[in-house]
Structure 1
Amino acid sequence: MSTETLLERINAYASRADPYPLYAELREHGVALQNDGSYLVGTYHEIAALLHDPRISSDVRHRTVPDLSGRPKDLPPSFIGVDDPEHDRLRRLAMRPFGPPHSPGRIDALHDDLVDIARELIDGLQGRDRIDLVDDFAYPLPVTVICRLLGVPREDMPEIRGWTNTIIASLDRSPDDDPQARQRAGAEARIAMAGYLGGLADRRREHPADDMISALVHDDGPEGRLGKPELMTTLTLLMIAGHETTVNLITNGMLTLLRRPDALERLRREPELMPSAVEELLRYEPPVQMLPQRTPLTDVEVGGVTIPQGAPLFLILASGNRDPLRFEDADHFDPARRDNQHFGFGSGVHNCFGAPLARLETQVALAELLRRLDGPRLVEDPPPYRHSPILRGPRHLPIVSGVRAGART
């Protein structure tokens, strides 16, 4: 089959449960021109080089083809959608209340709260023999955490989920329905979420609290404060990115372990392996499969192929993570793997700054699930997947399992 249809085949929902044969096909060619004029790159070393190449832009405003991101035109792009120096300024302002060097202990201080949230959710599963690990655990845990961090009231979480689902759906490139309608709906959801979070920020100006919105609103660092539109866009990004990918990471992680009882039992016997197991999950089943919004600022040669200025460039991170030229036995899941410099959180200046939180959430979540679930079994395999080929993970993960009593350890 022609490599010019690889992106179309990857985007097809029929490929969602197992896109890895298509990624292997891509790696055979390294760089593949698509019939829509875009280029795919799937080999590890080429992806790594491009992620660190200043000639490759993250700003969709540099494209020579229409922007399909669904970004509303009356809001500024978030810092993941711009280049330095604008990216550097916005990212550093957002980082000040989140992590080092300005707030070095914020993430580590969440550990006990994370354990309590995970245990409370699992306690609520007792007495049931069928569980949906997405709806019952993997979604509510990170969304509860990011809402607490930002200062979003718990009762507003369902509305947040509705907006998030619409925004994620707007990134879908499938031809199955009207892409313009998806993009309009996504833009409207972004505007609604940004307006909601901007309203919270306005209230925190008058009545500050111990949360990140208050910290961003009142931060008087050396570079000043974020402007109101910048703040609204930044808070929207933090809200979505702060839980959406972690849901997939936890769910993909449990699915991987349930398919591999030996690995699951090994982690129960050797819980000290959990940090390396999470790194392996980030390589083996990354929650972000590809970066679809990169643009060469000039003609760039990659693997003997010249990618022209302005052409849409897709970096298939999940393919690079399975590249046998970089990882030994790349299609094997090894919870104790060493030398695991994966693309689970990207790389380069746009490396995910929420990575420490996602790692901690997933380590705690999986540890508590393995400790409390008794004889868990998949109800169906593969489970139903979400539609997005970019943020790939099960929409639901039904299992049959008992739940052990919640004795504290």
Structure 2
Amino acid sequence: MDGEAIVEQLMTVEGRRDPYPLYELARTLGPVIPGPPDLLLAVGYREVNQVLRNMGFAVADTATRERWEPGFADHSSRVLFSRSILESNAPHHARMRSLIASVFTPRRVAALEPAVTAAVHRLLDEMADRGADGSPVDFMDAFAFRLPVGVICELLGVPEADRYRFRGLASELTATLEIIATDEELAAADRAADELAGYFTELAAARTAHPRDDLVSALVEVAAADESRLSGPELLANLVLLLVAGFETTTNLLGNGLALLFRHPEALAGLRDGGVTPAGFTDEVLRHDSPVQLTSRIALTGGLRIGELEVPYGSGVFLLIGAANRDPDRYEHPDRFDPTRRDSQPLSFGAGPHYCLGAQLARQESQVAVRALVDRFPALAPAGEPVRRDRLVLRGYETLPVILR
């Protein structure tokens, strides 16, 4: 099987459900291999890390998409993301990211820990009430979604009454980030983009009239003071991105983590006796079953190389993060789930200029949650088969039923 066939298989239902055997097939061909025409696949840790940090490899921004993707501007979901830091390059990326980082600071995130802890215990109380009669509880709905959406909405200043609507909208919107999406999925993504943009237009107007101590107010103030620093469309795009990225990845991290605990009782015992730290457990979940499996870059300058391989101008590169995180040249026994690893440094949050702004917050939520979860429900157990979301890029569960006992 060559690189092109591997990409074709990754796009099948079976490939999306379990891509790891296909990653290993790709690895037998080398750390960087040819894929479909004008596309390379990077599977090695060193090679993926190199591309992520090299600004000669750019994300597909508006100019690139308009040149190479006919019909790109027909989809409001794709246009929305292209105006955000997710799909922008220098100098616009640095300009917008510095503004967002100035209000989304490490100090502000660290100060959230008491609120995160309180939210975790409140949700565990609600789970206990739901499962008090012995009936199964869906961990994804009852906890994995509600915790991060509550935290990011609190930061943004989104009213609590509005938060219930975001899980479905985010699921529909992020379909546009997958390698392929059907016409029906793109239509749903466009509707979700329009609804979310409309929501934040109204919220931004409300914060302009009545500012509060939240991220929406802070970014609205910046945009109002100087549109050359942050335009109105950029403001809306980045607010939607902060919302969706603020809980989508963490929801998958929490679900993937619990599923791994069920499969590895020794890790559960380690968390209880102190042999496994919540930080070590979180990093190993990120490495072993990354919530983000794939990202891409385009060679927009000449003379670029990945390792010893020359990359022609205009070539695309699929960065298989899920494969890089299991590279045997980087990790001993890479397929083994081992939360006692040292110096793990998974690439799940990226690297370089596009390193995830919310990585610290996601780690904090996971660490607080896993500690409280194993303490509160010592007999927590699966209740039937979990259901995976049918996605490749964003890997997680749709449902994960548990019994609390």
TM, length-normalised to structure 2: 0.90
Q: Give the % identical residues.
A: 36
- State whether structure 2 residue 190 is matched by structure 1 residue 187: yes
The answer to whether the 8 A contact 1:72-1:188 is kept is no
User: Could you tell me which residue of structure 2 aligns to residue 96 of structure 1?
Assistant: 102
Q: Quote how far apart the aligned CAs of 1:376 are.
A: 2.1
- Go from structure 1 to structure 2 and tell me whether the alpha carbon gap of 1:183 and 1:15 turns closer, same or farther (over 3 Å shift): same
What is the 5 A alignment of 1:226-375? 226-270=230-274, 273-292=277-296, 294-299=297-302, 300-375=304-379
Cα RMSD (Å): 2.3
- Go from structure 1 to structure 2 and tell me whether the alpha carbon gap of 1:222 and 1:197 turns closer, same or farther (over 3 Å shift): closer
Q: Quote how far apart the aligned CAs of 1:183 are.
A: 2.2
The answer to whether the 8 A contact 2:2-2:26 is kept is no
| CA distance in 2 between partners of 1:274 and 1:82 (Å) | 34
| CA distance in 1 between partners of 2:291 and 2:47 (Å) | 21
| CA distance in 1 between partners of 2:161 and 2:126 (Å) | 18
| CA distance in 2 between partners of 1:11 and 1:362 (Å) | 29
The answer to whether the 8 A contact 2:249-2:394 is kept is yes
| CA distance in 2 between partners of 1:73 and 1:344 (Å) | 25
| CA distance in 2 between partners of 1:320 and 1:256 (Å) | 19
| CA distance in 1 between partners of 2:39 and 2:337 (Å) | 31
- Go from structure 1 to structure 2 and tell me whether the alpha carbon gap of 1:118 and 1:259 turns closer, same or farther (over 3 Å shift): same
2:64 to 59, 62, 78: 62
Q: Quote how far apart the aligned CAs of 1:218 are.
A: 2.1
2:344 maps to amino acid: N
User: Could you tell me which residue of structure 2 aligns to residue 401 of structure 1?
Assistant: 404
Q: Quote how far apart the aligned CAs of 1:310 are.
A: 2.0
Paired residue secondary structure (2:329): coil
- State whether structure 2 residue 80 is matched by structure 1 residue 78: no
- State whether structure 2 residue 395 is matched by structure 1 residue 389: no
User: Could you tell me which residue of structure 2 aligns to residue 120 of structure 1?
Assistant: 122
The answer to whether the 8 A contact 1:278-1:363 is kept is yes
| CA distance in 2 between partners of 1:330 and 1:216 (Å) | 42
- Go from structure 1 to structure 2 and tell me whether the alpha carbon gap of 1:135 and 1:208 turns closer, same or farther (over 3 Å shift): same
| CA distance in 1 between partners of 2:189 and 2:154 (Å) | 25
Structure in which a larger fraction of residues adopt helix? 2
- Go from structure 1 to structure 2 and tell me whether the alpha carbon gap of 1:56 and 1:271 turns closer, same or farther (over 3 Å shift): same
- After superposition, give the CA deviation of every residue in 1:208-238 in whole Å (9 maximum; x if it has no partner): 1121111112249999752211110110110
- Go from structure 1 to structure 2 and tell me whether the alpha carbon gap of 1:301 and 1:136 turns closer, same or farther (over 3 Å shift): same
| CA distance in 2 between partners of 1:304 and 1:170 (Å) | 33
Q: Quote how far apart the aligned CAs of 1:315 are.
A: 0.4
User: Which runs of 5 or more structure 1 residues have no equivalent in the other structure?
Assistant: 403-409
Q: Quote how far apart the aligned CAs of 1:371 are.
A: 0.9
Paired residue secondary structure (1:96): helix
User: Could you tell me which residue of structure 2 aligns to residue 407 of structure 1?
Assistant: none
- State whether structure 2 residue 220 is matched by structure 1 residue 217: yes
| CA distance in 1 between partners of 2:330 and 2:346 (Å) | 10
User: Could you tell me which residue of structure 2 aligns to residue 14 of structure 1?
Assistant: 14
Q: Quote how far apart the aligned CAs of 1:150 are.
A: 0.5
| CA distance in 2 between partners of 1:194 and 1:272 (Å) | 42
- After superposition, give the CA deviation of every residue in 1:80-129 in whole Å (9 maximum; x if it has no partner): 211122111100111111105xxxx2111111111111111111122143
Q: Quote how far apart the aligned CAs of 1:385 are.
A: 0.6
The answer to whether the 8 A contact 1:376-1:399 is kept is yes
- After superposition, give the CA deviation of every residue in 1:42-64 in whole Å (9 maximum; x if it has no partner): 11111111111121011333256
The answer to whether the 8 A contact 1:40-1:313 is kept is yes
Aligned length, in residue pairs: 393
User: Could you tell me which residue of structure 2 aligns to residue 110 of structure 1?
Assistant: 112
- After superposition, give the CA deviation of every residue in 1:149-180 in whole Å (9 maximum; x if it has no partner): 11111221233223211112233345xxx723
- Go from structure 1 to structure 2 and tell me whether the alpha carbon gap of 1:166 and 1:322 turns closer, same or farther (over 3 Å shift): same
More displaced stretch, 26-35 vs 111-120: 26-35
- Go from structure 1 to structure 2 and tell me whether the alpha carbon gap of 1:170 and 1:62 turns closer, same or farther (over 3 Å shift): closer
| CA distance in 2 between partners of 1:270 and 1:207 (Å) | 47
User: Could you tell me which residue of structure 1 aligns to residue 159 of structure 2?
Assistant: 153
